[in-house]
Protein backbone atom coordinates (compact mmCIF):
# COMPACT_ATOMS: atom_id res chain seq x y z
CA UNK A 1 0.00 0.00 0.00
CA UNK A 2 1.43 3.35 -0.90
CA UNK A 3 1.75 6.36 1.37
CA UNK A 4 -0.96 8.21 -0.54
CA UNK A 5 -3.37 5.29 -0.17
CA UNK A 6 -2.68 5.17 3.57
CA UNK A 7 -3.27 8.89 3.87
CA UNK A 8 -6.55 8.53 1.97
CA UNK A 9 -7.60 5.61 4.15
CA UNK A 10 -6.59 7.00 7.52
CA UNK A 11 -6.97 10.69 6.82
CA UNK A 12 -5.09 12.89 9.25
CA UNK A 13 -4.79 10.22 11.98
CA UNK A 14 -1.54 10.11 13.85
CA UNK A 15 0.01 6.89 15.08
CA UNK A 16 -1.20 7.64 18.63
CA UNK A 17 -4.75 8.23 17.44
CA UNK A 18 -4.60 5.05 15.38
CA UNK A 19 -3.37 3.13 18.45
CA UNK A 20 -6.19 4.58 20.57
CA UNK A 21 -8.77 3.63 17.94
CA UNK A 22 -7.35 0.10 17.77
CA UNK A 23 -7.39 -0.15 21.56
CA UNK A 24 -10.98 1.15 21.68
CA UNK A 25 -12.05 -1.37 19.02
CA UNK A 26 -10.39 -4.23 20.92
CA UNK A 27 -11.94 -3.09 24.21
CA UNK A 28 -15.40 -2.99 22.62
CA UNK A 29 -14.87 -6.44 21.07
CA UNK A 30 -13.66 -7.82 24.42
CA UNK A 31 -16.64 -6.25 26.20
CA UNK A 32 -19.09 -7.74 23.68
CA UNK A 33 -17.53 -11.20 23.97
CA UNK A 34 -17.54 -11.11 27.79
CA UNK A 35 -21.04 -9.65 28.02
CA UNK A 36 -22.60 -11.95 25.41
CA UNK A 37 -23.98 -14.52 27.91
CA UNK A 38 -25.50 -11.74 30.03
CA UNK A 39 -26.91 -10.05 26.93
CA UNK A 40 -28.30 -13.39 25.76
CA UNK A 41 -30.04 -13.95 29.14
CA UNK A 42 -31.37 -10.40 29.07
CA UNK A 43 -32.89 -10.94 25.61
CA UNK A 44 -34.39 -14.25 26.74
CA UNK A 45 -35.91 -12.53 29.79
CA UNK A 46 -37.41 -9.77 27.62
CA UNK A 47 -38.85 -12.42 25.27
CA UNK A 48 -40.32 -14.34 28.21
CA UNK A 49 -41.91 -11.17 29.54
CA UNK A 50 -43.35 -10.48 26.10
CA UNK A 51 -44.91 -14.00 26.07
CA UNK A 52 -46.22 -13.71 29.63
CA UNK A 53 -49.73 -12.39 28.84
CA UNK A 54 -50.44 -15.34 26.55
CA UNK A 55 -49.22 -17.79 29.20
CA UNK A 56 -51.28 -16.38 32.08
CA UNK A 57 -54.33 -18.37 30.99
CA UNK A 58 -52.25 -21.54 30.95
CA UNK A 59 -50.91 -20.80 34.42
CA UNK A 60 -54.45 -20.39 35.77
CA UNK A 61 -55.37 -23.75 34.23
CA UNK A 62 -52.33 -25.36 35.83
CA UNK A 63 -53.26 -23.92 39.23
CA UNK A 64 -56.75 -25.42 38.95
CA UNK A 65 -55.29 -28.80 38.01
CA UNK A 66 -52.89 -28.67 40.95
CA UNK A 67 -55.77 -27.93 43.35
CA UNK A 68 -57.77 -30.84 41.87
CA UNK A 69 -54.79 -33.21 42.07
CA UNK A 70 -54.10 -32.18 45.69
CA UNK A 71 -57.71 -33.01 46.59
CA UNK A 72 -57.41 -36.41 44.90
CA UNK A 73 -54.13 -37.16 46.66
CA UNK A 74 -55.72 -36.17 49.98
CA UNK A 75 -58.57 -38.62 49.34
CA UNK A 76 -56.13 -41.38 48.39
CA UNK A 77 -54.04 -40.69 51.49
CA UNK A 78 -57.18 -40.83 53.63
CA UNK A 79 -58.12 -44.22 52.20
CA UNK A 80 -54.67 -45.79 52.41
CA UNK A 81 -53.85 -44.91 56.02
CA UNK A 82 -55.42 -46.02 59.28
CA UNK A 83 -58.10 -43.60 60.46
CA UNK A 84 -60.34 -45.18 63.10
CA UNK A 85 -61.99 -47.76 60.88
CA UNK A 86 -63.39 -45.89 57.87
CA UNK A 87 -60.53 -46.26 55.40
CA UNK A 88 -59.93 -49.00 52.87
CA UNK A 89 -56.79 -49.89 54.81
CA UNK A 90 -58.84 -50.45 57.99
CA UNK A 91 -61.43 -52.47 56.07
CA UNK A 92 -58.69 -54.59 54.50
CA UNK A 93 -57.23 -55.40 57.90
CA UNK A 94 -60.69 -56.36 59.19
CA UNK A 95 -61.26 -58.61 56.17
CA UNK A 96 -57.86 -60.26 56.58
CA UNK A 97 -58.57 -60.93 60.26
CA UNK A 98 -61.96 -62.46 59.42
CA UNK A 99 -60.48 -64.62 56.65
CA UNK A 100 -57.76 -65.83 59.03
CA UNK A 101 -60.42 -66.61 61.64
CA UNK A 102 -62.51 -68.48 59.07
CA UNK A 103 -59.46 -70.44 57.94
CA UNK A 104 -58.68 -71.39 61.52
CA UNK A 105 -62.31 -72.36 62.08
CA UNK A 106 -62.31 -74.44 58.90
CA UNK A 107 -59.09 -76.22 59.89
CA UNK A 108 -60.37 -76.91 63.43
CA UNK A 109 -63.79 -77.80 62.05
CA UNK A 110 -62.20 -80.30 59.67
CA UNK A 111 -60.36 -81.92 62.56
CA UNK A 112 -63.56 -82.06 64.64
CA UNK A 113 -65.52 -83.44 61.68
CA UNK A 114 -62.82 -86.05 61.09
CA UNK A 115 -63.02 -87.10 64.75
CA UNK A 116 -66.84 -87.40 64.58
CA UNK A 117 -66.70 -89.40 61.34
CA UNK A 118 -64.21 -91.82 62.89
CA UNK A 119 -66.39 -92.17 65.95
CA UNK A 120 -69.43 -92.93 63.78
CA UNK A 121 -67.45 -95.39 61.65
CA UNK A 122 -66.22 -97.20 64.78
CA UNK A 123 -69.75 -97.35 66.12
CA UNK A 124 -71.02 -98.73 62.83
CA UNK A 125 -68.21 -101.31 62.69
CA UNK A 126 -68.93 -102.25 66.30
CA UNK A 127 -72.63 -102.78 65.50
CA UNK A 128 -71.75 -104.90 62.48
CA UNK A 129 -69.37 -107.00 64.52
CA UNK A 130 -71.90 -107.49 67.27
CA UNK A 131 -74.67 -108.41 64.83
CA UNK A 132 -72.65 -111.15 63.27
Task: Report the C-alpha gap between 125 and 115 in whole angstroms.
Answer: 15
- Give yes or no for a contact between 79 and 87, defined as CB atoms under 8 angstroms apart: yes
The CB density around residue 17, as the number of other CB atoms within 10 Å, is: 12
pLDDT score for 10:
67
Contact 66, 60 (CB under 8 A): no
- One digit per residue, the tens of pLDDT, for the chain of length 132 reads 677 776 676 677 677 877 888 999 999 999 889 989 998 999 999 999 998 888 777 777 888 899 999 999 998 888 887 777 778 888 888 899 999 988 888 887 777 888 888 888 888 887 777 766
Radius of gyration of the CA atoms of the chain, in A: 47
Cβ–Cβ under 8 Å, residues 18 and 10 = yes
DSSP label at residue 22: H
- Distance of alpha carbon 123 from alpha carbon 130, whole angstroms: 10
Q: Structure pTM?
A: 0.36
pLDDT recorded at residue 27: 94
> From the centroid of its chain, how far is CA 93?
29
Amino acid sequence: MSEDQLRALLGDLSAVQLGLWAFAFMAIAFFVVKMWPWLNRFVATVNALADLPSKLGTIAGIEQKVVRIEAQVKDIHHETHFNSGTSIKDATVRIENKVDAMQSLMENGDADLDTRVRTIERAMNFERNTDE
